[in-house]
Chain A
Amino acid sequence: DRTTGGPIVHIHNGILQVRSAPNYEDPPGLVEKTDFLIRDWISVYNSQPTGRDSTKAFSLFVHQMNCQGILKTDDLITRFFRLSTQLCVESVYRNMSDQNLTGNHLRVKCFNTLDAFVRLVALLVKHSGDSTNSTTKIHLLNKVLGIVAGCLLQDHEQRGTEFQQFPYHRIFIMLFLELNVPEPVLETINMHVLTAYCHTLHILRPSKAAGFCYAWLELVSHRVFMGRMLASTPQQKGWAMYAQLLIDLFKYLAPFLRNAELAKPVTMLYKGTLRVLLVLLHDFPEFLCDYHYGFCDVIPPNCIQMRNLILSAFPRNMRLPDPFTPNLKVDILQEIAFGPRVLNNFSSMITPITFKKDLDSYLKLRAPVTFLSELRSNLQVSNEPGMRYNIPLMNALVLYVGTQAIGFIRGKTLTPNMQTIAHSSHMDIFQNLAVDLDTEGRYLFLNSIANQLRYPNSHTHYFSCTLLYLFAEANTEAIQEQITRVLLERLIVNRPHPWGLLITFIELIKNPNYKFWNHEFVHCASEIEKLFESVARSCFVQKT
């Protein structure tokens, strides 16, 4: 596959080139030649205010490169890029250790070097090959991005905590802006530029280069990058790649967030992540809708607000009925007949294959009963408290059984409601999980269900009914208390709150069938009781 295999190969070649540099000497004189050429270019770039775009200075430079024999082979060209990247970065480090340079002066001095280098790369990419040949340009770009990424990783490794994210950040963002100016040559290769950048950013994800994480987030959330990836590329071609980058971010944050001990550096990155999610919720809600499943899979269960931001997204053409409307009848909303788009292949995540087979056979035959008693052991992966269960498997199982149930009920030309969802193999599984799992497992199970309570659609409706059914049919108060907890803890955080979540909770406390107010856990502590009362007050407000 040329579109996905191609760029990765060239980026990795670039990285490899840097990594193996100590093993093969550069030809004699190449370092000096590169040094001379790049210094010359930097001074030309900075001396003529009008010469910055000028093709004249550039063609003169290419002529010089030719004279020095640099353009002779592919190998020499990539060596030239590696050496010049390193020279520019070195000069930034030198400036940063210079006591006389501070604040703006330091920044400007470094920008003069880095911006000149970036312009050179952009011009070389634009003018390599003839104007109709985009392959050469894309190869060169991928190679250069790989080289810069390789230099970054090597620098990160060697300097450790002395590493500076700034020069690499500047190179990446300025080159991106250069390659996104409205010019016909660049517009034809734009999708390739985006792909190359996504691959490079994925290679440099925070778990691989933690010292680059803040600059990385700045790059991923830059308005031009986000706009190109999510808005201006037709057919949503950039969405999957962008989702991957967000997953990289969530995965990196997860171990720090799950302990809820947020040191300053973590808080900073977390706040940035929330801001990005807010922008996405406001400008690209459909994107969050489509990828909510994959995101929720990697966000730790205690990150309630972060998940609420994702689950609150709904398609912009939809009008949600106010959940506080008295006597709102969810059953008659037209939207609940349609399934949401889920772009993750969750059924393939049910592993091992034998378990999936047994599951399918149980859903069909409602036998053998042993399937239910073995369910728990299939989900449990260790005895370590807090890490007992395979959360992605739990999520996949819940959504898969739910979607199968909806299909099953529709197959009988019925619609899902409190009566039709009961007494089936699907509900057997859910009831069994509710009863048989320990507190930790049940918490994760109920969270998997609550992750489907979003805007009006068939999943939201089915899982809302399921949760209420599990509450009504629970054989112990512990289950009811945990259902209440999962719903309540998602509602006591600041807005936004997913629509389906509100609907379900309001139904629970309003509908006398659930005898919600008779339960002991509602009255166990005066703060809790007051909390319920205040939630109830806001729910029962009559609109006049």
Chain B
Amino acid sequence: LNIPRKEKDFQGMLEYKKEDEPKLIKNLILDLKPRGVAVNLIPGLPAYILFMCVRHADYLNDDQKVRSLLTSTINGIKKILKKRGDDFETVSFWLSNTCRFLHCLKQYSGEEGFMKHNSTRQNEHCLTNFDLAEYRQVLSDLAIQIYQQLVRVLENILQPMIVSGMLEHETIQGVSGVKPTGLRKRTSSIADEGTYTLDSIVRQLNTFHSIMCQHGTDPELIKQVVKQMFYIIGAVTLNNLLLRKDMCSWSKGMQIRYNVSQLEEWLRDKNLMNSGAKETLEPLIQAAQLLQVKKKTDEDAEAICSMCNALTTAQIVKVLNLYTPVNEFEERVLVSFIRNIQMRLRDRKDAPQLLMDAKHIFPVTFPFNPSSLALETIQIPGSLSLGFISRV
């Protein structure tokens, strides 16, 4: 016996009346919450819906409608980011949806280079009338802008935690006994008596990571965000070390190395060891090692010079100058030792730079990431209030 198939096979397009375009932008972009049943179950759903609307306008060969929809979409995204641009969740949501929309425009462009991973059905869904390469460029620029905004937002959130959590808060009691923070303890609060701890930083990283995952952000993009976060943590910590005498001691070095190892464990936990995030901590790691090594003999000087290749001469000398012994077993660094180091590093052609640029943003890329999702199976969930558009 044959069970009859659906009354109609859909082609994966969405139709709306021209006068409904503002309503479409309002409900799908301006009023859409970044957290909800439909967008959580199908990450990227707004992007797919928008693309399916583009497909129908392309199918109608209506260049006016295509142009108008794309312009309104871009303006809508800009508008919501202006209004809620300090909210990490909103910015992350629109970063991942803008990227997904861009991926769709490529995947279904009809250009062979973008069709390699398509199913035959997906290939039938390519645009037929318009070449939207110029709009892809505009969208890619928009995505870069959103990314920079995302970095600014997460920087504002992390900034007040870093010095307190990485440098000031003592997780190691005394000089010898290592007493871990209880990183795994679920009960400790984000701020320990009003101050941030390493634990607060790790929780914040967890929150950022979890939100991006829920938004279906491209894994390659998540890696870049994480690398940028680690860079900020490393740069702010190192800069403070270079500015504060009370931070340059053997035990602070120990503290920093412990904290860095916890951050590394977080990367391992999240499978992000190949993100380049760990490498951005290298200057800080070397500064921490510098605080711990012996600083007396000629051999010590030579060892320091070969170890600290990620620090500038100015930074090395500064740390040595600030170094403060914490107990009777340690000694001050002699001026002659510092001279020795300076002599050895004389031929190094490095920047006279002391502080790191904590505002530096690594250039972002959005590698093409096609999706296996079948457009013809997409339905419009009721909670999106898009009853005025229909499946074609």
The answer to whether A and B interact is no
Binding site for A on B (CB under 8 A): none
Binding site for B on A (CB under 8 A): none
